[in-house]
Structure 1
Amino acid sequence: MKKSPAQPLRQAARWLAVAVLTVAGASVAAPAHAADSTTCTGTTQLSYTPGLTLTPQTVTVSETDSVPTCISTDPSITSVITSPYSFPVPNASCNNVQLDPGNVLVIHWNNGQSSTVSGLTYVTTVTAGITQTTGTGTVTAGRFTGAVGVLTWVYALVNPLLCLTPGGLTGQNGTILAQIIG
């Protein structure tokens, strides 16, 4: 019996279908596991140099965070180890401070591990006297690689009268929330 030119194609298609079904069956049969997640809370303190006034200017923001409490699917993670850092904010004034500490942040966990959150984009909203800046990115290295990282800073709106004092507004306190969503 002579093979038609279509027979090798049909045979290849059958082998491809068997391979696809085998791979699909293997992925369906794989055991499911809970996604990793961590939520940490703490306080944040900002220092502005020079102080904020009503006139826009480039200001260096120095941030000191304390994040002593974490709830995690990894029981060895109970807090975040922080250290102060600084970043410039152009056109900052008492009426407009867009916090953007960079598109990459490294979270250092108390257990010696770390998570690098990359591609952070920030959104700042002001509602009912509260300023909230939320940065969202992806964990690209370390613990929780592949998860979503969400960092949120919350501050009360500043009293504009403080911006009229000599030296302007030089500091602000708030809260911080760090979430890893697997």
Structure 2
Amino acid sequence: MPMSATVRPPHSRLRLPAVVLLALLTAMAAMLMPVPAAYAASSTTCTGSSHATYNPGLTLTPQNVAADEIDTFSFCTSTDPTLTSGSFSLTGGTIPGAACNDVIAGPGGPLTVTWNNGQTSTAALTYVLTVTGGILQTVGTGTITAGELTGASAAFVWAFVLVNPLQCLAPGGLTTHDGTIAAQITSP
């Protein structure tokens, strides 16, 4: 009894693997396409300077002192290419019982950074102060609650060298103090 055989054209054996290969290539192309800006993770890192003024000047004797501060981010890198620098100021705060090199700060609260691109970011932060190795460091961590980068986590770090107590004995006390500031803002 003769056996019959079904002969298939050679190209039909390639049909299934070709379909699978096409699906894989399509999936890989989708992964390589840029993510729309509304869904892209954003990140901003900044460094700069902090300038604080005190009235009356800080002395070795605790007293209520009005403090103003101007912070300038002179260099920023960001996933938003228009954001390259920024600044903010904290004015009118009173520090009760302030003295030279005393780590007690005035009330914290939100701060609003004005960026060079005309946008703003308001941060709600919780502050922790430490003194280590002659450096007074304040770390503020929280969230951007309004403006550019809303919803991102934020960390701001201020660092000031402890002052020479002799500066606090000068007439009028210590009226200005300069330090550095850095910020890291990252959205999920």
* TM-score for the superposition, normalised by structure 1: 0.76
The equivalent position to 1:181 in structure 2, one of 170, 182, 186, is: 186
* Residue matched to 2:76: 70
Deviation at residue 88 of structure 1 after TM alignment = 1.1
Say yes or no: does 1:154 pair with 2:149. no
Contact 1:55 1:93 in 2 (8 A): yes
* Residue matched to 2:137: 132
* Residue matched to 1:37: 43
* Residue matched to 1:171: 176
* Residue matched to 1:113: 119
CA distance in 2, matches of 1:84, 1:96: 19
CA distance in 1, matches of 2:50, 2:87: 13
Contact 2:53 2:175 in 1 (8 A): yes
Ranges in structure 1 where 5+ consecutive residues have no aligned partner: 1-30
Deviation at residue 67 of structure 1 after TM alignment = 1.5
Could you tell me which amino acid in structure 1 is paired with residue 104 of structure 2?
Q
The one-character-per-residue Cα deviations of 1:146-177 (angstroms, maximum 9, x if unpaired) are: 11121111100011111122211111111111
Q: Which of structures 1 and 2 has the bigger CA Rg? A: 2
Q: What percentage of residue pairs aligned between the two structures are identical?
A: 55
* Residue matched to 2:21: none
Say yes or no: does 1:89 pair with 2:100. no
Say yes or no: does 1:61 pair with 2:67. yes
Contact 1:89 1:97 in 2 (8 A): no
Greater Cα shift, 89-98 or 147-156? 89-98
Count of residue pairs brought into register by the alignment: 151
The one-character-per-residue Cα deviations of 1:86-140 (angstroms, maximum 9, x if unpaired) are: 311111101314334631111111111111112x111111111111111112111
Ranges in structure 2 where 5+ consecutive residues have no aligned partner: 1-34
Contact 2:52 2:178 in 1 (8 A): yes
Name the Cα RMSD after superposition. Answer: 1.9
Contact 1:48 1:59 in 2 (8 A): yes
